[in-house]
């Protein structure tokens, strides 16, 4: 699922288009402001010529007058601010704007990809993979509590609770989780048998967060574990596909690993998975893992070290109820 070259080009073209849009916007603002207040254009020209002559002097090794220059520039800036205010233009009317102030719409923040690049990359991957359509159908707005039976009451610890009330609690907690995501960034573990709403709930959270421009990667556990096992970082800074994917796993705001089972619990992948989960916990990054295994089965399949890490750092949600998928087909 890493970006193809053409997807990468699409994102970079989009950055260029945004830069062009803002350049045109500034040109239009300048046209209007200079027509209303000609002195503003003179100020711009004076700033340009002062900077150019200082640059010429610097090339010749003469650094005198730098203090003088910065003083002149701040006088001109004050005069400009004053004029904008007097003629009722917004204070930033003649500034070049950016959609992302961190990378100034270049997609690069220092030596790393900017957060906004990761958001765009994950959104594009979703659109292209078709998952966007799934999320349009499966989200908090379409969640139907009436599908979960009220009269099916089960024991949870020493309490008894209906399947519907349990789901109602989970739904409320997951909505609050999505609403407060920027503050809490907690990790969640969804456990319970097949078909009782875990995947649907991960879709709800993914959609809510992507709508708020968080980057989300949704990955099946088998693909995830393959990537962990295969990723190779090369010394010459080039990546193979798995390494590129690993990088995205590390950058992403929320990683959802769906359907973690026993089959990945060989000691090599389990150890890598453990390191990876630790890594995200220590960097305060959120992960949601869903598994058909019960807590007891997870503890048996994975090391105690790993499961205790889950219990200490993940909010655990117990799903139960009749298999919704089977119900859906039997009703047809």
**81 vs 102, which CB is nearer to Zn ion?**
102
**114 vs 167, which CB is nearer to Zn ion?**
114
Number of shown-chain residues binding Zn ion (CB under 5 A): 5
Query: Residue 112, CB half-sphere, CA atoms under 13 Å: how many?
Result: 10
CB of 104 to Zn ion, least distance (A): 8
**104 vs 223, which CB is nearer to Zn ion?**
104
Q: Is residue 35 within the footprint of Zn ion (CB under 5 A)?
A: no
CB of 19 to Zn ion, least distance (A): 12
**x/- letters, 113..152, toward Zn ion (CB under 5 A):** -x-x------------------------------------
CB of 235 to Zn ion, least distance (A): 28
**14 vs 240, which CB is nearer to Zn ion?**
14
CA distance linking residue 272 with residue 282, whole number of Å? 15
- Contact (Cβ atoms closer than 8 angstroms) between residue 145 and residue 164: yes
CB of 100 to Zn ion, least distance (A): 3
Q: Residue 21: how many CB atoms within 10 A of its CB? A: 13
CB of 161 to Zn ion, least distance (A): 45
Residues 159-218 that bind Zn ion (CB under 5 A): none
Nearest Cα to Cα of residue 43 among 16, 96, 82: 82
Residues with Cβ within 8 Å of 293's Cβ and at least 6 positions away in sequence, in order, are: 191, 260, 261, 262, 301
Residues 80-119 that bind Zn ion (CB under 5 A): 100, 102-103, 114, 116
Strand, helix or coil for residue 250: helix
Exposure string (b/e) for 6-18, b if CB count within 10 Å is 16 or more? ebeeebeeebeee
**114 vs 289, which CB is nearer to Zn ion?**
114
Residues with Cβ within 8 Å of 126's Cβ and at least 6 positions away in sequence, in order, are: 132, 135, 210, 218
Residues with Cβ within 8 Å of 98's Cβ and at least 6 positions away in sequence, in order, are: 22, 104, 105
**91 vs 102, which CB is nearer to Zn ion?**
102
CB of 103 to Zn ion, least distance (A): 3
* Binding interface with Zn ion (CB under 5 A): 100, 102-103, 114, 116
């Amino acid at each position: 699922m890493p970006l193809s070259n053409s997807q990468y080009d699409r994102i970079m073209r989009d950055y260029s288009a945004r830069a062009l849009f803002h350049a045109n916007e500034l040109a239009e603002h300048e046209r209007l402001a200079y027509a209303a207040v000609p002195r503003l254009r003179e100020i711009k020209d004076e700033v340009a010529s002062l900077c150019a002559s200082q640059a010429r002097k610097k090339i010749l090794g003469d650094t005198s007058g730098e203090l003088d220059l910065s003083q002149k520039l701040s006088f001109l800036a004050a005069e400009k601010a004053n004029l904008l205010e007097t003629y009722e233009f917004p204070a930033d009317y003649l500034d070049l704007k950016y959609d992302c102030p961190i990378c100034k719409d270049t997609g690069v923040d220092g030596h790393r990809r900017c957060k906004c690049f990761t958001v765009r990359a994950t959104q594009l991957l979703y659109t292209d993979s078709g998952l966007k359509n799934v999320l349009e159908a499966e989200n908090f707005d379409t969640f139907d509590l009436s599908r979960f039976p009220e009269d099916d009451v089960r024991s949870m610890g020493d309490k008894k609770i209906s399947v519907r009330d349990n789901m109602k609690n989970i739904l409320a907690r997951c909505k609050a989780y999505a609403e407060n995501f920027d503050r809490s960034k907690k990790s969640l573990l969804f456990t319970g048998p097949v078909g009782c709403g875990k995947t649907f709930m991960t879709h709800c959270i993914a959609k809510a967060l992507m709508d708020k421009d968080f980057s989300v990667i949704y990955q099946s556990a088998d693909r995830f574990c393959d990537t962990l096992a295969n990723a190779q970082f090369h010394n010459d800074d080039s990546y193979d596909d798995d390494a590129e994917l690993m990088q995205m796993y590390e950058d992403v705001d929320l990683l959802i690993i769906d359907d973690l089972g026993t089959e990945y619990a060989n000691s090599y992948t389990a150890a890598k998975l453990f390191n990876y989960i630790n890594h995200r916990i220590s960097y305060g990054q959120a992960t949601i893992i869903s598994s058909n295994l019960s807590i007891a089965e997870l503890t048996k399949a994975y090391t105690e070290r790993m499961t205790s890490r889950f219990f200490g750092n993940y909010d655990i949600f117990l799903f139960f109820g009749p298999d919704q998928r089977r119900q859906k087909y039997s009703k047809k």
